[in-house]
Amino acid sequence: MTKAQSTASPVPTADGWPRRRAAVLRDAVGVGLAVGALGLSFGALAVVAGFSVPQSCVLSLLMFSGASQFAVIGVLGAGGAALTGAATATLLGVRNSLYGLNLSALLRVGGLRRAATAQLVLDESSAMSMGRATEREARLAFYATGAAVFVCWNIATLAGALGAKVLPDPEALGLDVASPAAFVALLMPRLRERRFWAVAVAAAAVAIAGVPLLPVGVPVLLAGLVAGAAALALRKESR
């Protein structure tokens, strides 16, 4: 064997999979850290709303849906009924079932693995799996992002809940607006289209009108129903 042969670099793979895999994993960790940071806010606000540290952590472990979790502690913390909090959380979580319908053909899992996979169906994991060059890359993006968000969110929930026990007033740090601010940031690109402004205004008007008249949490439910109906109507018109 010649010196040139012994020092030759390995032949690169034809599809560049190692490079693309590394990129997917890097992005997944970044998303996990960014989204998980909101878990600090959730953990602290859950304790402020009257949840214990173990209860806050169990909610993150089992429900694991940021919007739904904030809805539950928001309604119960304001004195709303448990049924109203559950209904609001369910309405916000419906979108995950729609993601699941789209992902079922890609993931093709069953049994206990299907149940475990369902826990990772999130906005972030679903979005990261879309537009990938191959199914292999799409599946990796889904699982890596879902796992990263799950780990970071639960660690941050515990840290936020413990921190709330130490801080005299967690809301003074602005933690109560962290989640709404994040959702506004996600919605801003959509609001460039006029039809989405119409949906947002209609839902907001219903929520504001219902606040002085309805029990805590119900205005949010009505706003969600109005937004869904308006979105469906606009979709039919566009067709």
Q: What pLDDT, on the 0 to 100 scale, is given for residue 25? A: 93
Q: What pLDDT, on the 0 to 100 scale, is given for residue 6? A: 42
Q: Among 30-44, 132-146, 171-185, where is mean pLDDT lowest?
A: 171-185
Q: How confident is the model at residue 28 (pLDDT cuts 50, 70, 90)?
A: very high
Q: How confident is the model at residue 53 (pLDDT cuts 50, 70, 90)?
A: very high
* Separation between Cα atoms, residue 156 and residue 154, nearest integer Å: 5
Count CB-CB contacts under 10 A for residue 223.
21
Q: What pLDDT, on the 0 to 100 scale, is given for residue 57? A: 95
Q: What pLDDT, on the 0 to 100 scale, is given for residue 158? A: 95
Q: What is the mean pLDDT of residues 8-31?
A: 76
Residue 199 has pLDDT above 70, yes or no: yes
Q: Whole-number mean pLDDT of the chain?
A: 79
* pTM score, whole prediction: 0.72
DSSP assignment of 55-114: HHHHHHHHT--HHHHHHHHHHHHTT--HHHHHHHHHHHHHHHHHHHHHHHHHH---HHHH
Considering only residues 18 and 11, tell me which one the structure prediction assigns the higher pLDDT: 18
Structure tokens at 97: 């079932």
Question: Residues near 182 by Cβ (< 8 Å), separated by ≥ 6?
Answer: 38
Q: What pLDDT, on the 0 to 100 scale, is given for residue 60? A: 94
The pLDDT tens digits of the residues spanning 70-128 come to 888 888 877 877 887 788 788 777 778 888 888 888 888 888 888 889 999 988 898 89
Considering only residues 20 and 201, tell me which one the structure prediction assigns the higher pLDDT: 20
Q: Is 150 exposed, middle or buried (0-12, 13-18, 19+ CB in 10 A)?
A: buried
